[in-house]
Amino acid sequence: MQPELFKRYGVIEQTASENDVEYACESIRHLGYAVIDGGYEPGRLNAMSEAFERAQQRHTSEHGGREALKAIDEHNTIRLPLVYERLFLELAANNKILEICRRLIPGYVVLNQQNGVINPPHAERYNQGAWHRDLPYQHFVSSRPLAINALFCLDPFTNENGATKVLPASHRQEAFPSDHFIEAAATTIAAPAGSFIVLDCMMYHSGGVNTTDRPRRAVNHVYSIPLLRQQIDLPSMLGDQFVTDDALRKLLGYNVRTPRSVAEYFASRAEKS
Ligand SMILES: O=C(O)CCC(=O)C(=O)O
């Protein structure tokens, strides 16, 4: 029984929320978003910050250089930083985030995507600075989340450096809200470095405008039900030897690959029985 902090009448049931994970789940169910501390020490955050820079350099040089990426509007994104730096694999497996996913998507979740996100300085336009759902082009709502986003703040998110904006509860409505609603309801999420901004993936959100002199860096994750196609086929890209740990293999989608033939399908049935 919770102590009665707030007066009420006619209430015979109340949701129990007793720790940060439960509170985040409650907030995501109602409002579509929550902020939770990732549990990292300053030393770990510095290591991630350095790893982000190394990952960006390797990603840029492996994919034709900055101008080639700019031509396809990919110069402010690092696709799959976990390929370059093991720390980002650990980040994708953050215990609190996986616990939130387990509670909101019982049964099975797969990492659908991981992207380093750079909100560039001097108010420059970037690909995430427009309202969107992380399952874009979808105009339906579901009774339970299909996917959860966890945007890790590598830098503090502030009004000045373009913190993420959300439209609260927009994961519950099919259509994109009116301009009037956006003006009235858009909420900027300021959050310290080391936090995750966690969203129902159908919640409309947008990066803000970064008016400072420094990039504002983040790492976005989408965790989904296994029926949804990964943004990039992780098991194919990473190869079979990338991880041996069963839980990580499950998270990365090794156990839900689409059979390429009837023979492969039957082999997968035989493995299950
Ligand atoms: O950069 C941001 O604040 C938002 C990032 C985002 O919308 C995304 O990665 O889907």
Return the residue whose CA atom lies nearest to atom 2 of ligand 1. 207
Distance 71 CA to ligand 1 centre (A): 20
Supply the CATH number for residue 200's domain.
2.60.120.620
Position 47 in a domain: yes
Residue 8 lies in a domain: no
Asked whether residue 247 is domain-assigned, the answer is no
Choice from 135, 205, 221, 223 to test ligand 1 binding pocket (greatest atom count within 8 A of CB): 205
Q: What are phi and psi of 49, to 5 degrees?
A: -65, -45
Length of the chain in residues, anyone? 273
State the pTM of this model.
0.95
pLDDT value, residue 270: 85
Tens of pLDDT, residues 22-33: 999 999 999 999
| Residue owning the nearest CA to atom 1 of ligand 1 | 207
> Could you tell me the two tokens for 192?
């310290």
Split into its structural domains, the chain has a count of 1
Report if residue 73 sits inside a domain: yes
Q: Is residue 259 part of a domain?
A: no
- Taking CB atoms and a 6 Å cutoff, what residues make up the pocket around ligand 1? 115, 117, 119, 128, 134, 151, 164, 205, 207, 218, 220
Q: Please report whether residue 245 resides in a domain.
A: no
Atom number in ligand 1 closest to CA 132: 7
Is 89 domain-assigned?
yes
Q: Residue ranges of the chain with pLDDT lower than 50?
A: none
Find, among 136, 159, 138, 135, the residue nearest to 207 by Cα.
Answer: 159
End-to-end Cα distance, the chain: 44
Task: Look up the domain containing 220 and give its range.
Answer: 20-232
Q: Is 193 inside a domain boundary?
A: yes
Distance 11 CA to ligand 1 centre (A): 38
pLDDT at 1: 55
